[in-house]
Structure 1
Amino acid sequence: MKLLSTDKKNAVLQSMIAYLDSEREAIIVANKKDLDAFDRDDRALYDRLVVDNAKVDDMIRAVKEVKAHDDPVGNTISDDTLENGLNITNKTAPFGTIMIIYESRPDVTIEAAVLAFKANNKILLKGGKEAHNSNEELVKCWHKALEDNGLEKDWIQYLKMDRATTQEFLRNPDQPLDLIVPRGGERLIDFVKQHAKCAVLVSGRGNNFAYVAPDADMEKVISVIVNAKCDKISGCNALDKILVDKNRPDFEEVLKKIESELSSKGVHIVGSKEVADMLETDDQITDESVWYEEFLAMKAVIGAVDGLDGAIEFINTYSGGHSNIILTENNEDALKFMEQIDSAAVYHNASTRFTDGGQMGVGAELAISTDKLHHRGPLGLKQLVTNKYYVHGAGQIRK
């Protein structure tokens, strides 16, 4: 793949900033077509679909942010000279071609493309049909920005394919394909993993838990839980399950307080069998599958666990491996929880809503990876490169 200079890449991004601003009315009009055709009953997906002036401003901000970052390509990771005289330098290098498959969110068309392009990768965008008009308008802006700077449009491609065509493309792509990042529910992820012939980096489900320890400060508990659950229900970093330790002396009072605070914000509460008689809700878990479920709705489960070890085991069994919280004033317990919980992010007395590239200082992100290779957590600019060894010799041979 041709390596572009930093100046060339930044010139494209500067053009893109200008086009997003000048074409914002056309982008919003295109988005309205998508919104008018969408079923508003699915609130989470509808929220993700909306593009207004504030969302366009966010897109512009994301491009500016990536433009200001250092180029992640060609940076030296290590540089060593061996006893035999070989000089071995390990440098960052582009993946090549990255495909992202995503649902609903038109802003991914900007964030994914700007990150991949700045990292010198080609990007194939497979957006959902519900955002087709919005995505086409945004990709037009990308293509004009590329052409203005003397580059081919195939650096950023928009794939309009149905399920069957996508399946065939994953099995037999018509161009080199080095990495696929599916962003969506488990059905989408399973579909991609089943059919893809190249590496797949999973941006997994949320289903995040909060564990309320026996010594947790209730002021922090309520503030953190309400924010994690209610701030943005469509986010994969939203909270779904709350586990209160049975060993709290005020156990029943805490259960009721959490239920009351969430209910007052419009959250539908489901109780586990152990606590259902102590709660106001009539909705009780009858199927274990609920513990695995990501809600993406104003809905939360309240349950109970027996001790820190019980909480760790329970969360590791059911959590999506995204973000989990411990609420405690005991730093040793917090450290044990954070070391032993198997997720991309672990929190002590803070909301899961911070699992976000911008909030974590990574900047714009392609996705939140719940895989362990090659990276877990926000996939920012620095994570969209691989590495290459440069070996310089003077005629050495291996004996």
Structure 2
Amino acid sequence: MITIVDESRNEILNANQQDLDAFQRDDRALFDRLVVDSAKVNGMIAAIRSVREQPDPIGQVRSSGVLGNGLRIENRTAPFGTILIIYESRPDVTIEAAMLAFKASNRILLKGGKEAVHTNQVLVNCWHRALAENGLTADWIQLFTLDRQATREFLKNPSQPVDLIVPRGGDRLINFVKEHARCAVLVSGRGNNFAYLAADADWEQVLPIIINAKTDKISACNALDKVLVDEETPGLAAKLRRLGAALRAKSVQLVAEESLLPLLEGAEPIAGESVWYEEFLAPKICFGWVAGVEKATRKINRYSGGHSAVILTVDKAKADVFMEQVDSAAVYHNASTRFTDGGAMGVGAELAISTDKLHHRGPLGLEQLVTNKYYVYGNGHIR
């Protein structure tokens, strides 16, 4: 597959240009995710290579032992069977999801968005060439090009067995899948990530962390959307003006609670409570007041998507309280939320970032694309 993708580089880029030409560029985040250039093809190849070199996750013994009655019991990792992933844009998912599922001995059904149909078709053709050259059938990796109605019908009455569905997108997609699916759904949920700036935060760290978390890649689910400022922060006015100016210099729109508007030049008032629930996927950030770490954690748990949250403080004990109390897949102390990513966390390529608690939260890498099975060995045992 590494060789085939490299040889097909021009075909991939030409197909992607077809998709880009047909795209209505009113959704910047979706457009950013759609773009494939030569560097992204290199990234696809690097991802394949990294997964190829990881150990086979299937048949690994999780526990073993012999009971008092002589029964020997092993618990081993096993494939799910068939995984359906539904995603928008992101042609690189067509590479990463398929390679992870395949190496974990799962079949995968790829339901990409119509905006990436030409790119996805070329990438799946590459997969089918690789499968054929190794004597394997094309049904290991299939591309679905169903419209919304056909997808709904497939979820309700699948024409083939499906063991796990992973919707990778916003609330609308997730709710659509959960409403109609007839099998297990593992949610790759929205971001809406929060930062809490404690009163003792080191503002020499605050500025680069907030700027990076917000602006490094606005279309990513690990981008920052909300900042909670502790009302006891000394010299807050000057600090916020400095942060606001740095964000405006990066063309970020500021919105804030009324009492913070005088401290953030050019900021607009928050339109309503619904803004706190919103994942922006845009150059936009929201500021609010909070009184202490407990109220910060309470507000984050109420409004966030359960993806990533960060506390900026020099007090480790305060950070420990925050990190234990915030109910998110990844919690940070003095670091950008942009690290919630399989590669950045040392997991390798990822299928998605799960915000579910069963069976796994965080990056879904190769080791997480397995279930388990008990192997029980007896010698005429009866109960």
Q: What is the TM-score when the length of structure 2 is the normalising length?
A: 0.99
> 3-state DSSP class of the match of 2:287?
strand
Question: Take 2:229 and 2:64, find their aligned partners in 1: how far apart are those partners?
Answer: 51
Question: Take 1:50 and 1:255, find their aligned partners in 2: how far apart are those partners?
Answer: 35
Give how far 1:272 is off. Answer: 1.3
Give how far 1:252 is off. Answer: 2.0
Aligned partner (choices 182, 200, 221) of residue 197 of structure 1: 182
Partner of 1:235: 220
Q: How does 1:158-197 map to 2 (within 5 A)?
A: 158-197=143-182
Give how far 1:282 is off. Answer: 4.5
CA deviations 1:292-342 (Å, max 9, x no partner) are 000011110111111111111111111110001100000000000000000
Q: Which moved more, 1:35-44 or 1:182-191?
A: 35-44
Contact preservation (8 Å) 2:166, 2:186: yes
Question: Take 2:267 and 2:250, find their aligned partners in 1: how far apart are those partners?
Answer: 18
> 3-state DSSP class of the match of 1:190?
helix
Partner of 1:131: 116
CA deviations 1:157-204 (Å, max 9, x no partner) are 001100010000001111110000000110000000000000000000
Are positions 1:354 and 2:336 aligned together? no
Question: Take 1:96 and 1:345, find their aligned partners in 2: how far apart are those partners?
Answer: 28
Contact preservation (8 Å) 2:253, 2:267: no
CA deviations 1:55-114 (Å, max 9, x no partner) are 110000010000000000001011111111111010000000000000000000000000
> 3-state DSSP class of the match of 2:11?
helix
> 3-state DSSP class of the match of 1:257?
helix
Aligned letter for 1:46? F
Question: Take 2:293 and 2:172, find their aligned partners in 1: how far apart are those partners?
Answer: 32
Aligned letter for 1:141? C
Aligned partner (choices 289, 297, 305) of residue 290 of structure 2: 305
Partner of 2:67: 82
Partner of 1:8: none
Partner of 2:32: 47
Q: Which moved more, 1:379-388 or 1:311-320?
A: 311-320
Contact preservation (8 Å) 2:352, 2:363: yes
Aligned letter for 2:178? K
Do the aligned partners of residues 393 and 282 (structure 1) sit closer, same or farther apart at CA in structure 2, a change above 3 Å counting?
closer
Aligned partner (choices 310, 320, 345) of residue 305 of structure 2: 320
Question: Take 1:215 and 1:171, find their aligned partners in 2: how far apart are those partners?
Answer: 52
> 3-state DSSP class of the match of 2:373?
strand
Contact preservation (8 Å) 2:162, 2:183: yes
Partner of 2:329: 344
Are positions 1:386 and 2:371 aligned together? yes
Q: How does 1:53-132 map to 2 (within 5 A)?
A: 53-132=38-117
**Which consecutive residues of structure 2, in runs of 5 or more, have no partner in the other structure?**
none
Q: Which moved more, 1:331-340 or 1:41-50?
A: 41-50
Structure 1 runs of 4+ with >6 Å offset: none
> 3-state DSSP class of the match of 1:274?
helix
Question: Take 2:154 and 2:26, find their aligned partners in 1: how far apart are those partners?
Answer: 32
> 3-state DSSP class of the match of 2:269?
coil
**CA-atom RMSD in angstroms:** 0.7
Question: Take 1:92 and 1:338, find their aligned partners in 2: how far apart are those partners?
Answer: 30
Aligned letter for 1:237? N
Question: Take 1:335 and 1:156, find their aligned partners in 2: how far apart are those partners?
Answer: 43
Aligned partner (choices 246, 255, 272) of residue 231 of structure 2: 246
Contact preservation (8 Å) 2:214, 2:225: yes
Partner of 1:7: none
Question: Take 1:370 and 1:271, find their aligned partners in 2: how far apart are those partners?
Answer: 27
Do the aligned partners of residues 225 and 282 (structure 1) sit closer, same or farther apart at CA in structure 2, a change above 3 Å counting?
closer
> 3-state DSSP class of the match of 2:142?
strand
Aligned partner (choices 181, 187, 191) of residue 206 of structure 1: 191
Matched pairs, number? 383
Aligned partner (choices 282, 285, 296) of residue 270 of structure 2: 285
Contact preservation (8 Å) 1:244, 1:255: no
Aligned letter for 1:22? E
Aligned letter for 2:192? N
Give how far 1:42 is off. Answer: 1.5
Are positions 1:17 and 2:2 aligned together? yes
**Which consecutive residues of structure 1, in runs of 5 or more, have no partner in the other structure?**
1-15
Aligned letter for 1:338? M
Are positions 1:273 and 2:261 aligned together? no
> 3-state DSSP class of the match of 2:259?
coil
Partner of 1:334: 319
Partner of 2:359: 374
Contact preservation (8 Å) 1:255, 1:302: no
